[in-house]
Amino acid sequence: MYRSGWSFKDPGQARILQITMSKEGFLALIGEASSSIKPEGGKVEASLVRYQWDPERNIKLERLPYRSLQLGISGEMVSKWINEWIVSIDDITDDVRRWKGYIDKDGEDGVNKAKREIESRWREDVFEVGNDLEERLGMKESRES
């Protein structure tokens, strides 16, 4: 939400969509993913799925002690993602704008109100992957940086 300025950043980012995909689809995507970062002295591997680790932030835009996996999908993987792996798409723009309003109007009380609403709808869980995939995606390094 913060990357799009809570939907106010620019007209091309005026809607916030919650996209739910199957676990099998997610595993297929990350199983095909190659780093978008060029290794020292090397070149970026050709791939239909790219990943990078981005800093994560909380609702007050403070940096969190972990990173989020960002995926870029191209070619035939886009078609598979759209036609096979997406379970649902919900427009949550009105909710996001309401939460931003709480924060702007009521400061810390607004932050807490928004967090309560968010936490009543969504729960984050640890998503375990095998050691091979963890190593290939650089998950250990992303936790340490």
Using CA atoms, how far apart are residues 123 and 143, in angstroms rounded to an integer?
Answer: 21
Contacts of 4 (CB under 8 A, 6+ apart): 13, 16
- Selected residue with higher pLDDT from 102 and 45: 102
Residue 42 DSSP symbol: S
State the average pLDDT for the chain. Answer: 89
User: pTM for the complete prediction?
Assistant: 0.79
Using CA atoms, how far apart are residues 35 and 142, in angstroms rounded to an integer?
Answer: 12
pLDDT tops 80 at residue 118:
yes
Question: For position 58, what pLDDT does the model report?
Answer: 87
**Beta carbons of 87 and 21 less than 8 angstroms apart:** yes
